[in-house]
Amino acid sequence: MHLANCLMVDGDLEASGALCAEGLAALGHKPERPRPLRALSVVWLFLRIIVGGWIKKPARAVDDPATALRLFVYSMAIPHYQFTSRNLEQLEFALRYRLLGARSPVPEVRQEAAATSLIMLLPFAHLGGRIQRRVEAYFAQLEDGATRVASDRARMWLPLLRALYEVVSGRPDKSIPWWEEFQEVRIAKSGYIALQRQNALFLAGEYDKFVGDVSRAAAHRAEALTPLDIVRLAYIERLRGDKETAWRLLADVENVDPADLPWTHRSLFTYQLVEMKMLDGDTEAAARLARTMLPRIRRSALSPTTGAFECADGVTRAFLAEANRLTRIGRRDAARALVKEAERALKQTPALEPPLFAARMLHDRAVVALALGRRDEGLALLAQAEAESRHGAIPCARMRLLEDLLDVLPPSDARRNAFFAEANEMSAARRFTPRRWRAPWLFPLDG
């Protein structure tokens, strides 16, 4: 299981998952259990937790070796099932860990039990009400427990979950101080935690900090930059107008097979490659790459870390851009089929959209509606996306939305001046190169 942990941190979820399955089977949890039986187990675990809330039991005197092993195996299984969108399995072992860990005499285990419960709630925190109160209660529990733990892993839970909470809430900029609290901890210098920190910097438009972070992570690993690092650096150079540097970087990685990358890098790498192809005007290649992301778009992918929303965004714009090209060469039936496929992909996104992705999904639905000739619906969705994106801090997505609005709004629209001024200000502050032509995903299919 220690090997499984190392493999998971490095993003090799296939190998990690196989080892987790072996460990769970050794504890009596057979992977081939029917889903109805697993669902009944979850119901029973929930009932035990409810009853446990009424009847408080004291902590155990000691965690014997068998209990400690069971806790460790469960702790490895939970993130694996989270990353791979196996929600029922994730829920089952999170509940098992909570039941077993809450009464542990070891402060580190109790801290992780609280963290595990909080991880399950983060995708729903934006719903408010009772869920938000539970989130706040678990954060308070983590803050109290942080004064009683000594290991790096246990001390890291509070700032890590604070950081992830801010990112999922659409404010990656607010997450940066939390990441900085533990960036020098050894296990945070590479692997999954470093990736999440770099994702936050990239989303927040803190590109100089991002470049420094990926360089330090590569030095810590004593390895070259990863293909994901390189394609993101190429994208930054392209945003800033340096096409030659971007193309030179891209030449090193554009033929990399995503299947050879860690599972946690694959969809992000492909998404960024799709963006680069669209910026270069190669919509055919962009659509071909985007098609490989379709399996990641699933209603069950509730965790924000699964890549489902990024994949849907990339698929939508790439398919529409290619449909635009097909329309121009007279292949209208093929173009319409591609737009309809993009519309179906958006309908497969997870039902719960955290604030991090809400504006982008509205934006994507808007451009599909515009392509299908539903102009009033498209403009209304763009207006909703604009209002939603004001509350977040994703500069690149906000800039794209502003430029799309300027492309489609009539000259008489009173909002144009404000959008134009904001886009200019953002270009100067972020060193973005303004778009000089209409986006290829903005077109009416029938005229």
Nearest Cα residue to 80 out of 153, 170, 158, 10:
10
Query: Are residues 160 and 182 in contact, defined by beta-carbon separation less than 8 angstroms?
Result: yes
Nearest Cα residue to 4 out of 253, 18, 50, 149:
18
d(CA 205, CA 152): 29
Nearest Cα residue to 17 out of 101, 68, 78, 67:
78
Taken in order 81, 84, 89, 95, the sign of the CA dihedral is: positive
d(CA 12, CA 78): 15
370-401 CB burial, b ≥16 within 10 A, e <16: bbbeeeeebbebbebbbebbeebbbbbbbbbb
d(CA 7, CA 294): 26
Chain-centroid distance, C-alpha 376: 31
On the 0-12 / 13-18 / 19+ scale of CB atoms within 10 A, 15 is: middle
Domain residue limits, the chain: 1-105
Q: Is 86 left (phi over 0), alpha (psi -120 to 50) or beta?
A: beta
d(CA 272, CA 410): 31
Per-residue pLDDT of the chain (447 residues; tens, 9 = 90+): 778 777 776 667 778 878 888 888 888 888 778 888 888 888 888 888 888 777 778 888 889 999 998 998 888 888 778 777 677 888 888 889 888 888 899 999 999 999 988 988 888 888 889 999 999 999 999 999 999 998 988 999 999 999 999 999 999 999 999 999 998 888 888 888 899 999 999 999 999 999 999 999 999 888 899 999 999 999 999 999 999 999 999 998 989 999 888 888 889 999 999 999 999 999 999 999 999 999 989 887 666 666 889 999 999 999 999 999 999 999 999 999 999 999 999 999 988 888 999 999 999 999 999 999 999 999 999 999 999 998 778 999 999 999 999 999 999 999 999 999 999 999 999 999 999 889 999 998 765
